[in-house]
Amino acid sequence: MSGILNKLRGDNAPLPPAHPLRNILLAGLGGFCAIAVIALFANSLQAALVLGSFGASCVLVFGFPEAPFSQPRNVIAGHFISSLIGLLCLSLFGPVWWSVAIAVGLAIALMMATRTVHPPAGSNPVIVFLTQPAWDFLLTPTLAGAVILVLVALIYNNISREARYPKYW
């Protein structure tokens, strides 16, 4: 037991370096732009396009665009896979406590197996179980919202930064 308690102390590593103010402001503005565009489309089309998990996706896509978790395939496929697994588990097992746990675990495993891990998408099965949507949830908001977010990121990150986005497809 003391071995585990020792591990809980951590490695006593230093905090990561502070981000430059320019990067902080660009990341915040990028997140604002992406959610604004998604919400504007949602409002104009009178369709649900915004997921809570998209806010967390913005942290990665605009704050850490070079990270593997932030690449377009990870954002789009990660959200799609996780919502699909959530809908499947909800349909097969119903809205019971263990079913949502199975859904989250399977979503993580499938994202890892397909090399499309996007941590914010791990919350999609929980969102599915909380809202109990129909199967069209896969298209709107999941797929449409993720694609819009990536399109904004492609334009914004390539205009506002010197580095290329994405690193790979």
Please give the Cα distance from 64 to 46 (Å, whole number): 31
Sign of CA dihedral 94, 95, 97, 103: positive
Report CA-CA distances (Å) from 11 to 14, 15, 18, 138, 144.
9, 11, 19, 41, 42
pLDDT tens for the chain, 169 residues long, are 778 888 888 888 999 999 999 999 999 999 999 999 999 999 888 888 899 999 999 999 999 999 999 999 999 999 999 999 999 999 999 999 999 999 999 999 999 999 999 999 999 999 999 999 999 999 999 999 999 999 999 999 999 999 999 999 9
How many helices and strands in the chain, by DSSP H and E? 7, 0
Amino acid, single-letter form, for residue 28: G
What pTM value is reported for the model? Answer: 0.93
State the residue for tokens 């967390």: 56
Amino acid, single-letter form, for residue 134: A
